[in-house]
Chains A and B, each alone.
Chain A
């Protein structure tokens, strides 16, 4: 079982969660923390600390917008000093969020390679891919 936390700059994280809610009705188990424009890092740390379920021994899977950003660095700094099991994935996209959510009963750290491959495979130049498929079918 994994807890899910989305961390990002601005409204991206909450908007991702709302989009997930359109697809899957009840996503109360997904937590969101955003670093808003003008908000101090100290305040952001406090919000992260308050949101993480420290009582639980379950792993938390953190989805972040970009690797180098302040939200990502903040959550790394918090979790690395704790005993809470965690896995962090950068490059948040809707397909990754859906995949992680649908597989939250598993430990995401044990299936991380599959999650990353799926996320990368969800990025498609549609027409180019269809043309390549047609060409390979034709060659066969």
Chain B
């Protein structure tokens, strides 16, 4: 198995904002990669830009902002490969858990993904103040 890497794909600059956010806490080089979908890009161009990042050697986790986004739809065919997992609806707790597991633990990919999804879901909560 190769290294595990994360590719964030969003419209606008959201993916880069997330990377900038994460960089305030941890060195994300060699772990977190970003793609921003531009309005003028064709589907073929978007697919090509994904193809330029996602190789067949490393384990890739593609994160998109929501289920019905163009990023999710166009990432689907990449996720059919054995070395790519596609997760939608990312939030900061998910990405923090992913980066932590990839950088500091030698956790198997299936476990990394399960932990990240649990963290993401647990991170969504109503904050009650006593």
Interface residue ranges, A against B (CB under 8 Å): 8-12, 14-16, 18-19, 22, 37, 64-67, 72, 76, 79-80, 87-96, 98, 112-113, 116, 119-120, 122-127
Contact = CB atoms under 8 A, between A and B. Distances in A.
Interface residues of B, number: 39
Q: Which 9 A-B pairs have the closest CB atoms?
A: A15-B17, A91-B124, A91-B123, A122-B89, A88-B127, A123-B89, A94-B65, A93-B91, A11-B17
A127 B79 contact: yes
Given A11-B17, A15-B14, A125 B124 contact: no
A123 B12 contact: no
Given A9-B24, A10-B20, A122-B89, 12 more contacts: A18-B12, A66-B123, A67-B125, A88-B126, A88-B127, A89-B124, A89-B126, A90-B127, A95-B65, A116-B125, A125-B113, A126-B76
Name the residue in B24, B79, B96, B125 with the highest tally of chain A Cβ atoms < 10 Å from its Cβ: B125
Contact of B127 (A15, A67, A98): A67
